Amino acid sequence: MKLSMPLVYAGNPRETADQVADLEKAGLDTIWVAEPYGFDSPTLMGYLAAKTETVEIGAGILNVYSRTPGALLQTAAGLDNVSGGRAVIGLGASGPQVIEGFHGLPYDKPLGRTREIIDLLRRGLRREPLTSDGIYKIPLPADQGLGLGKPLKLLNKPERPSIPLWVAALGDKNVAMTAEVADGWLPFLFHPGKAHEVWGDALAKGAAKRSADLGPLEVSAGGMVAIGEDVKGMLDFMRPMYALYVGGMGARGKNFYNEMACQYGYEKEAKEIQDLYLDGHKRDAEAKVPLEWLEAGNLVGPASYVQERIAAFKEAGVTSLQVNPASDDPAATIRQMKEWVA
């Protein structure tokens, strides 16, 4: 099992990014860089590439709407070059809140877009001309735009002809597609004890169509890490994030994370969290996040308990444990976790 970590920052990401070299020395395998509607991932990933030597640098995630397939190809190939072959590209549809509310684009055909972009990136990295008669219609027909219609291939030779492509997915169809065509899966707010019940059929359906050339599907999930005899109270620091996604990421009837909470069996709590959050009562919404979910999705407690949680994530199919150390010495936490996941 690999050890990965999200780049968590408040205000100035450069200060946090400067610490990644120490985490790399401690044994961190992958750093994930998000960009929901903050600083863009590629800029920070390039900065990390210059500061590190061995850690994989993953986009977690680039949405499939705000960049064209060609721009995503340029980004993937460029990042892989400056990192010396350490790029991992996480893709996803994000959600209406970000795509419509921040980028001003219609949130349509998320499944088709993701599948098509994966195909275009793979072909583009092999320096095949970008062509598509699907959603993106590359190149343009002669009667549209400038009418040039000549397919182009990437000008530079990529560092690698193949870069790991991961997908953030929650819905059954999206998870099945991920299991079929992606290198890895990025579930969010993952509950290892309920994952098979929620996604087992979708994963099996996609795996049945998976090409043997891809190898097994990788999975990255996890949460906060706090090791000690009296640290359970640290779980409360996770409540705002859970409440934000379950309650505030979307409208009533159109929130993927709320639907996932219901699938986990938290229907009552999911409705209460959303109603309270959308009505402006965020603290009350946070209090409704089930403690059972927080305990299952994070690694907070005595050493023996944290090791039990690691085993639970392994049993659920996680191949890259994603950790967020809540300690004064994150590098020491990474060293300890590295021993346990080996």
pLDDT string in tens for the chain (342-residue length): 999 999 988 778 888 888 999 999 999 999 999 999 999 999 999 999 999 999 999 999 999 999 999 999 999 999 999 999 999 999 999 998 899 999 999 999 999 999 999 999 999 999 999 999 999 988 866 655 445 568 899 999 999 999 999 999 999 999 999 999 999 999 999 999 999 999 999 999 999 999 999 999 999 999 999 999 999 999 999 999 999 999 999 889 889 999 999 999 999 999 999 999 999 999 999 999 999 999 999 999 999 999 999 999 999 999 999 999 999 999 999 999 999 999
- Nearest to 91, CA basis, from 216, 185, 13: 185
**Residue type for position 11:** G
Q: Please tell me the total count of domains within the chain.
A: 1
**Separation between Cα atoms, residue 289 and residue 246, nearest integer Å:** 9
Q: Is residue 123 part of a domain?
A: yes
Please write down the long-range contacts of 43-50, taking CB distance under 8 Å and 24 or more positions apart.
44/7, 44/13, 44/17, 45/79, 45/83, 45/87, 46/78, 46/79, 46/82, 47/14, 47/17, 48/7, 48/17, 48/20, 48/83, 49/79, 49/82, 49/83, 49/84, 49/86, 50/82
Q: Is residue 266 part of a domain?
A: no
- Nearest to 300, CA basis, from 211, 219, 253, 235: 235
Structure tokens at 53: 């030597």
**Separation between Cα atoms, residue 174 and residue 324, nearest integer Å:** 26
Listing DSSP states for 68-79 in one string gives -HHHHHHHHHHH
**Domain interval for residue 181:** 2-226+298-341
Q: What is the pTM of this model?
A: 0.96
Q: Is residue 253 part of a domain?
A: no
**Helix, strand or coil for residue 335?**
helix
Q: Is residue 256 part of a domain?
A: no
Listing DSSP states for 31-67 in one string gives EEE--SSSS-HHHHHHHHHHH-SSSEEEEEEEESSSS
Q: Is residue 237 part of a domain?
A: no
Q: Is residue 283 part of a domain?
A: no
**Separation between Cα atoms, residue 94 and residue 296, nearest integer Å:** 24
Q: How many CB atoms lie within 10 A of CB 53?
A: 11
Q: Is residue 48 part of a domain?
A: yes
318, 192 Cβ separation under 8 angstroms: yes
In eight-state DSSP terms, residue 327 is S
Q: Is residue 260 part of a domain?
A: no
| Cis check: omega of the bond before 151, within 30 degrees of 0 | no
CATH of the domain at 203: 3.20.20.30
Q: How many CB atoms lie within 10 A of CB 330?
A: 22
Alpha helices in the chain (DSSP H): 13-17, 20-26, 41-51, 69-82, 96-99, 110-125, 172-181, 195-207, 239-243, 256-263, 267-278, 282-287, 291-297, 303-315, 330-341
